[in-house]
């Protein structure tokens, strides 16, 4: 019989479901040292946010087959280490969506009507109506950063309050936004025009400190910020400064960069900020929902059934993996390239698979393309969640397969936003062999610059001289031609990141039509 450890206070409904199938030990409060001591005897572990499933826990968990996070975020689980050990990590992406959505709106209303402050005065025996005059949501502009499930839920509720809703999400198409009744906008415009700004993005290297003092200074002095997503997206020290100096009017914060929030945090002493101790998912219904979701996932996994909510790589049969593995890497890099070439949000992606690989289950190849597209701006995208993340952002995937091909035994072609990129394998090494009808031979395993240009003498030297001036080394070059007379495509492999000012300088060169940098270093 399998043995399961349920830590951190998992709702009883999920525990009872597991007890019908397995031996379950419940430890609502457990120290890291205790976890290290007892984990070797368990096949599965369920946690919320308190327990840290670190590499040392995984090393001692010699029998662990699956870890369930009763909630959405898996920040407290070392997912790469789990994956390396073949341990499935699952979460509950939907169980607390409504709870987080409603808490966001509760915070928005509370910061508008000074409800917590008025309540505190009333309990102290006071009565001061003038001090707590608030503002209405009606006819105000709500800026939503991130239009996933929670962001979309907030948008729906805001419209019932007669709010004007705008949003920023680099992966949401105009079609998807229109269906939600939301106008897409650039981030700077959202900052400048919103009366309320609410964050619904994951915490990544790209979103950390997304809203800091420079951004707050571009906002209306009447704006109110809400964060029920992840601590660290709004810089807390800068927020305290902006609230103190009345750069912005107010804030309502449920999540913090370090939790629990430090006792000496300057936010605790400010009257124009509302603080809650990470309550976004803390409803009875949500706790039951995530508990049952994770329990069902563990039951499926321990019975060798697929788990829909896995956040790391699923098991791929060895005979399929042997054939597909190098194509998965190529497909991800093709996706990264097509994203780099796109100048607007991607809403439709077509993947054409030609050759012998079309005869096997090649859906992983299409998923790897989506992973490459999404990884250009999001962290923690994998072959399991790429399709879900794409669907949430209104990206539609179509796949065309054919055993016939041209010139090469196998080809993978990705099309989006009128751009087309084709790749194949030379041995087990991926190569890009065509970009927008230009025949090329490009190794997509470093950094490249894609530069369509006028086909005339001196262009390559002009670009090389410019990069050399800025100490950027060119380690490879390929020039592709097309049927378009007088036009060529230069693809440079470079060893150094290229600053924006250098890219701008390149674009101003007379023979250059455009410059597209694509980085592959972190593609996996």
Give CA separation, 94 vs 101, 291, 294, in Å: 11, 11, 11
Residue 344 appears among annotated catalytic residues? no
Q: Which of 95, 117, 76, 47 is nearest to 283 (CA)?
A: 95
CB atoms within 10 A of CB 99: 22
Residue 445 appears among annotated catalytic residues? no
Residues 6+ apart with CB under 8 A from 439: 433, 480, 481, 482
Residue 259 appears among annotated catalytic residues? yes
Q: DSSP readout, 352-386? A: EEEEGGGGS-THHHHHHHHHHHHHTT-SS--TTTH
Residues 42 and 61: beta-carbon distance below 8 Å: yes
C-alpha 90/C-alpha 120 separation (Å) is 41
The token duo for 64 is 């662990």
Q: How many CA atoms lie within 13 A of 123 on its CB side?
A: 6
Q: Return the residue matching tokens 């099309």.
A: 415
C-alpha 246/C-alpha 271 separation (Å) is 11
CB atoms within 10 A of CB 159: 15
Q: Which of 279, 389, 291 is nearest to 335 (CA)?
A: 389
Facing residues of 5 across strands?
Answer: 25, 45
CB atoms within 10 A of CB 523: 18
- 294 Ramachandran zone, left/alpha/beta (phi>0; psi -120 to 50): alpha
CB atoms within 10 A of CB 269: 10
Q: Which of 312, 298, 273 is nearest to 15 (CA)?
A: 298
Q: Which of 13, 34, 259, 285 is catalytic?
A: 259
The token duo for 327 is 């194509």
Q: Which of 48, 103, 176, 230 is catalytic?
A: 230
Residues 511 and 488: beta-carbon distance below 8 Å: no
C-alpha 378/C-alpha 206 separation (Å) is 8
Q: Return the residue matching tokens 């209405």.
A: 136
Residues 6+ apart with CB under 8 A from 33: none
Residues 64 and 26: beta-carbon distance below 8 Å: no
The token duo for 102 is 């409603």
Q: Which of 157, 278, 396, 445 is catalytic?
A: 278
C-alpha 428/C-alpha 434 separation (Å) is 18
Positions marked active-site: 230, 259, 278
């Amino acid at each position: 019989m399998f043995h399961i450890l349920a830590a951190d206070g998992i709702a009883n409904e999920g525990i009872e479901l597991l007890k019908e199938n397995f031996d379950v030990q419940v430890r609502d409060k457990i120290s890291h040292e205790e976890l290290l001591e007892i984990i070797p005897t368990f096949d599965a572990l369920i946690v919320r946010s308190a327990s840290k499933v670190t590499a040392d826990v995984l090393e001692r968990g010699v029998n662990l087959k699956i870890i369930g996070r009763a909630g959405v975020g898996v920040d407290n689980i070392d997912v790469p280490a789990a994956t390396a050990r073949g341990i499935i990590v699952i979460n509950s992406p939907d169980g607390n969506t409504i709870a987080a959505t409603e808490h966001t709106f509760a915070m928005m209303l509370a910061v508008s009507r000074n409800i917590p402050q008025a309540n505190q005065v009333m309990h102290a025996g006071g009565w001061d109506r003038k001090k707590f005059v608030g503002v209405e949501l009606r006819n105000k502009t709500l800026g939503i950063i991130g239009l996933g499930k929670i962001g979309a839920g907030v948008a729906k509720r805001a419209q019932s309050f007669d709010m004007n809703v705008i949003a920023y999400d680099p992966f949401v198409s105009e079609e998807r936004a229109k269906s939600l009744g939301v106008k897409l906008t650039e981030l700077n415009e959202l900052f400048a025009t919103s009366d309320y700004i609410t964050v619904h993005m994951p915490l990544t290297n790209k979103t950390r400190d997304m809203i800091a003092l420079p951004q707050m200074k571009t906002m209306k002095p009447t704006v109110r910020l809400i964060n029920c997503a992840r601590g660290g997206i709004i810089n807390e020290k800068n927020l305290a400064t902006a609230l103190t100096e009345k750069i912005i009017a107010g804030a309502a914060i449920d999540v913090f960069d370090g939790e629990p929030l430090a006792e000496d945090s300057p936010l605790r002493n400010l009257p124009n900020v509302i603080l809650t101790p990470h309550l976004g998912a803390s409803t009875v219904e949500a706790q039951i929902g995530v508990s049952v979701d994770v329990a069902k996932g563990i039951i499926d996994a321990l019975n060798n059934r697929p788990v829909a909510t896995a956040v790391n790589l699923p098991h791929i049969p060895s005979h399929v993996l042997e054939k597909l593995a190098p194509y998965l890497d190529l497909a991800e890099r093709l996706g990264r390239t097509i994203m780099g070439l796109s100048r607007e949000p991607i809403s439709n992606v077509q993947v054409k698979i030609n050759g012998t690989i079309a005869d096997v289950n090649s859906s992983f190849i299409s998923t790897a393309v989506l992973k490459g597209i999404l990884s250009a701006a999001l962290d923690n995208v994998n072959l399991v969640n790429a399709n879900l993340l794409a669907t949430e952002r209104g990206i539609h995937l179509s796949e065309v397969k054919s055993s016939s091909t041209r010139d090469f035994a196998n080809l993978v072609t990705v099309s989006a936003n009128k751009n087309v990129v084709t790749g194949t394998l030379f041995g087990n090494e991926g190569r890009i062999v065509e970009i927008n009808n230009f025949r090329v031979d490009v190794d997509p395993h470093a950094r490249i610059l894609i530069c369509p240009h006028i086909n005339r003498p001196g262009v390559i030297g002009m670009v090389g001289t410019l990069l050399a001036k800025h100490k950027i080394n060119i380690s490879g070059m390929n020039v592709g031609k097309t049927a378009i007379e007088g036009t060529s495509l230069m693809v440079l492999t470079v060893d150094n990141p290229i600053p924006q000012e250098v890219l701008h300088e390149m674009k101003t060169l007379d023979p250059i039509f455009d410059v597209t940098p694509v980085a592959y270093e972190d593609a996996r």
